[in-house]
Amino acid sequence: MKNILKQAAMSILLVALVCSFCVTPAMAATEFIGETKENSAVVSDESAELAASSGWVKKSSGRFEYYSKAGKVTKKLVKKNGFFRYYLKKNGKWKAQKKVWVTISHNQYYANAKGKVTTIYYGASKKAKRYSGGKWKYVKNDTLRLANGNVYYFSANGIRQTKHSWYKINDNRHVLVGEKGSDTVDYLLKKDGGAWKCYVSTKKGWDKFRSKWAQAYGKIYYFDATGKASRIYYVESMKCYEYKNGKYVMWRNTTKYIGKYLLYFGSDGIRVTKSGWYRISSDKEIYVNSQGVVTDSRTPVKETTGHSATGWYTIKLSNGSTKQVYGYFDYDAENTIIRQLNAYRKANGLNELTRSQSLMNSARVRAYECSYSFSHTRPDGTQCFTASSEMNGENIAAGYPSADAAMIAWKNSPGHDANMKLSLFSKIGVGVFVAVSSDNCGYKYYYVQNFGI
């Protein structure tokens, strides 16, 4: 569908349609030709002038006859026992027609299952009347299937609507006129048994709109194989609901497709549009891009004896704002660096360094800070020594694929090597941060040594 009713894809995005209805009239009545005030027994004749040669000829207010080219009457619409009835002449005998429309000039008449005319459409005024419950009534804010098999909508003033638009019949029933380029009702949206359903108008009746997306009234619907709207996305509130156990339930902390796009709905049920990684379960994380679409997923690293679990780490910036980085600490790499550092000092005749928990903590903080700003100046503008009162020296490295490679690089750098061999130092803390999310510096591994006297 296009325009008002669109096959839902999104620009992101992303809606309303309702109930099947019977448009074949079934009524009983007194005579009624022409238009009059509601329920009046006196009628005015709105029939156009009819040709006196072949075709329909008005003989009286209660009789119309159809003349063939041979000048013979082969059809007639006549009043009988208070009802107009439609007859065809076959094999010399007149037979009443049932459940059929007949068009005379601009007007259309429907004979019901008993052969009685109980529905009339007036082409000139675009109004229609039906007989029901012992009364003639204008068709208002309702639909009617006419002689051509198409369904039409009549507004609250009783006039057939031709404008391409959705029309609300009631809270549970809406129709779309003109979607296919004509002035017919093409789609019906109806709430049935608690669930919304969509129907497509055909010459034979209503077909269910199945296994497709559609948009209307600021909502995007998915109609499943049964024709039921199993998902509804509200564009303005950015919330989505699923039909379960007879009612619509809001999605929370989950991903669902709306059209061809996979979206993430947070714990509050609102669609997440901020880019980044989000954990939706203990064993799954998803990535939302700048357009608010889920484009990637992964299994988070769980904590083991060798490394921490993946997590978000908050960094304070000099302007008072914060940034977050995502990753984990590699305990094995940290232990490798401490072990190799002490072996290096011992080989150079120096004392081994003692692991300090304060320096371990500061080194890990500095490691994830370096993933945002690779510098001895912290992202908040202070010097690295503010990370721990025990810190008297710092080595940093980034991009090396292993602890061994980082140690070799430090040894080959005079300034870093001097720190590792300074005899005044007695304490050590090491942090190795593995960045999982994208960061300012563009590396995966960040190594930090914090030294204390």
Q: What is the DSSP string of 293-313?
A: -EEEEEPPPPP-SSBPPPEEE
The backbone region for 216, taken as left when phi is positive above 0, alpha when psi lies in -120 to 50, beta otherwise, is beta
Q: In what order do the strands lie in the sheet with 284-288?
A: 276-281, 284-288, 294-298
pLDDT value at residue 420: 98
C-alpha 303/C-alpha 230 separation (Å) is 39
- Percent of the chain exceeding pLDDT 70 equals 86
Pairing verdict, β 219-223 and 212-216: antiparallel
C-alpha 187/C-alpha 207 separation (Å) is 10
C-alpha 50/C-alpha 44 separation (Å) is 16
pLDDT digits (tens, 9 = 90+) for 393-404: 999 999 999 999
- Mean pLDDT of the 129-135 span: 93
Instruction: Decide if 233 contacts 16 (C-beta within 8 A).
Output: no
pLDDT digits (tens, 9 = 90+) for 77-114: 999 887 899 999 999 999 999 999 999 999 999 999 99
Token pair recorded at residue 362: 């500061």
Token pair recorded at residue 62: 């209660």
pLDDT value at residue 54: 81
Instruction: Decide if 98 contacts 90 (C-beta within 8 A).
Output: no
Provide the β-strand partners of residue 176.
166, 187
C-alpha 228/C-alpha 247 separation (Å) is 12
Q: For the chain, what is the mean pLDDT?
A: 87
pLDDT value at residue 310: 83
Token pair recorded at residue 29: 């009545």
pLDDT value at residue 17: 32
Stronger pLDDT, 185 or 281, i.e. the higher one = 185
C-alpha 60/C-alpha 76 separation (Å) is 12
Stronger pLDDT, 16 or 243, i.e. the higher one = 243
Write the single-letter amino acid at 30: T
C-alpha 86/C-alpha 80 separation (Å) is 10
Beta strand ranges found along 155-194 (DSSP E): 165-170, 173-177, 185-192
C-alpha 346/C-alpha 172 separation (Å) is 83
Virtual CA dihedral for 321, 325, 331, 336, nearest 10 degrees?
-90
Stronger pLDDT, 283 or 100, i.e. the higher one = 100
The model scores a pTM over 0.75: no
pLDDT value at residue 107: 96
Would you list the DSSP string of 311-348?
EEEEEE-TTS-EEEEEEEEBHHHHHHHHHHHHHHHHHT
pLDDT digits (tens, 9 = 90+) for 41-63: 333 344 444 444 689 999 999 99
Write the single-letter amino acid at 381: G
pLDDT grade, residue 305 (50/70/90)?
low
Domains defined for the chain, CATH in brackets: 55-177 (no CATH), 186-265 (2.10.270), 326-452 (3.40.33.10)
Q: What is the DSSP letter of 413?
A: S
pLDDT digits (tens, 9 = 90+) for 59-73: 999 999 999 999 999
Q: How many helices (H) does the chain have, and how many strands (E)?
A: 4, 33
